[in-house]
Each structure stands twice: as C-alpha cells, then as structure tokens.
Amino acid sequence: MFHAQVLTLFPEFFDSPLSCSIPRRAIEAGIVAVDCIQIRDFATGRHRKVDDSPYGGGPGMLMKPEPVVAAIREARLRQPQTHVVMLTPSGAPFNQSRALEFTEKSSITLLCGRYEGFDERICDYVDEQISLGDYVLSGGEPAAMCVLDAVIRLLPDVLGSPESAVLDSFTEEGILDWPHYTRPEVFEGKAVPDVLLSGHHAEIEVWRREQALLRSRRRS
C-alpha cells in the first residue's frame, strides 16, 4: 500500500476531495492510505502558537520551526521511508514525471504552509520543495491535494483502464492528449471529424498523433 501523509493546520480541507471519485475508490480498495497530521498538535504553550512575526519586520506571520519540525519528525517516525515534500512557490515545478516518480516511493509526506510561508530553517528538514506553478495560493493544502490526486491516479490498479494514464497528456514529455469526441455526431452544427467515424483504425491512429503534435506545438 502507498502511504501519503499530509502535515497541515487544516486536515478538514481534505475530507471532501478524498471522499470522491478516484481517490475515494483507491482508498477503499486499500491501494492508498492518506493520513493528515495536525501541525498544531506539536505546538507547545497555552495558546499552541504555530506562527510568529518575521525577524527584520514586514507584513504577515511565518510558520514557526518548532511545531513544524516536530510534525515532520512524527511523520518520519510513522513512515520511516517517507519522502518529505514542502509545498512552496519557491520549489521545483511539479509535473507529470515528478508525479510518476512519487508513485515509485512507498510513502510521501506533503508539508502545507500557511500565512507568509515557512521559517527558512525548516527547509533543512525536508527532502525536496515543490511548487504547483507561478502563482500564490493562500495555503499549501490545495497544492497538496493536486499532488495527491495526480499521484493516486497513477498508482497501479487505480484507473479502470490502465491504458488511460499511459495515453494522458505529458506521459510523453511535452506532448498533449489528442482531441476527443463522443455522441452526438453533430452538436450545434459542429460535426465529429469524419476519420473518427470511418472505422479505419490505422488512419484514426495517424490522425490522433497528428492532432496531438499540432496542439502540443501550438501550446509551446
């Protein structure tokens, strides 16, 4: 079984997305287990403070190192082989090949920030830093959920047809999926391309490849 752990101040964020569709089926089938670890449980003091103001001044608050590092240690205790990933806009871009690499691990732990982000020293306690893209989210939870979803659907036996993941966009670097059509044959005057109705499998394959290359070139 693949073990995912999420270090977060908002475990409830994951309740709904993990109880739908593919992630839910993967959990129910025992292919993946997802455990949330509440970072605040590792904060000490009467107020269980997890954030503090930045040295040098400036707006906002930062995640304090003590509770976050204690939560990382707990994650490593629970899953000694776990690969700890910090979600941060400063990280390396997440993509399909990283998702595939994560499926080869037995466990990943996703560390979600809030506020203005992490005290920089926390970076020394994680295995890598990943960004979802060049924009700023209000917390690491939506980023962690995207990573979880992308990884879970690539785990063996999760998708109904194992072929679907192989044919997806980005399986081949930089190459997008081809255009798809279903019934009706004509929708508001827009017809399905003739070749797809021809029954000529070889021609259909050639057309799909051409279309995939065309839209990949347009996007690059």
Return d(Cα 162, Cα 156) in angstroms, integer: 8
Single-letter amino acid, residue 119: D
Residue 202 binds to ligand SAM (criterion: CB under 6 A): no
Return d(Cα 174, Cα 135) in angstroms, integer: 21
Q: Which of 3, 37, 99, 113 forms a contact with ligand SAM (CB under 6 A)?
A: 113
Return d(Cα 62, Cα 72) in angstroms, integer: 17
Question: Closest-CB residue for ligand SAM?
Answer: 113
Q: Residue 99 has which token pair? A: 């998702």
- Whether 168 is catalytic is yes
Q: Please name the helix (run of DSSP H) or strand (run of DSSP E) that holds residue 206, with its range, or none.
A: helix 201-219
Question: Which residue, 88 or 216, has its beta carbon nearer to ligand SAM?
Answer: 88
Kindly report the number of other CB atoms within 10 A of residue 163's CB atom: 9
Q: Residues 63, 40, 4, CA angle at the centre, nearest 5°?
A: 90
- Footprint (CB under 6 A) of ligand SAM, residues 80-99: 87-90
Return d(Cα 209, Cα 171) in angstroms, integer: 14
Q: Which member of 35, 66, 116, 177 is catalytic?
A: 116
Q: Which member of 35, 51, 66, 168 is catalytic?
A: 168
Residue 77 binds to ligand SAM (criterion: CB under 6 A): no
Which stretch, 28-36, 45-53, 107-115, 185-193, contacts ligand SAM (CB under 6 A)? Answer: 107-115
Show the binding pattern over residues 119-148: x = contacts ligand SAM (CB under 6 A), - = does not: ------------xxx-xxxxxx--x-----
Of residues 48, 47, 106, the one with CA closest to residue 82: 106
Q: Which member of 23, 67, 114, 153 is catalytic?
A: 153
- Whether 41 is catalytic is no
- Known binding site for S-adenosyl-L-methionine: residues? 113, 132-137
The footprint of ligand SAM (CB under 6 A) covers 87-90, 112-114, 116-118, 131-133, 135-140, 143
Q: Which residues carry out catalysis? A: 89, 116, 153, 168
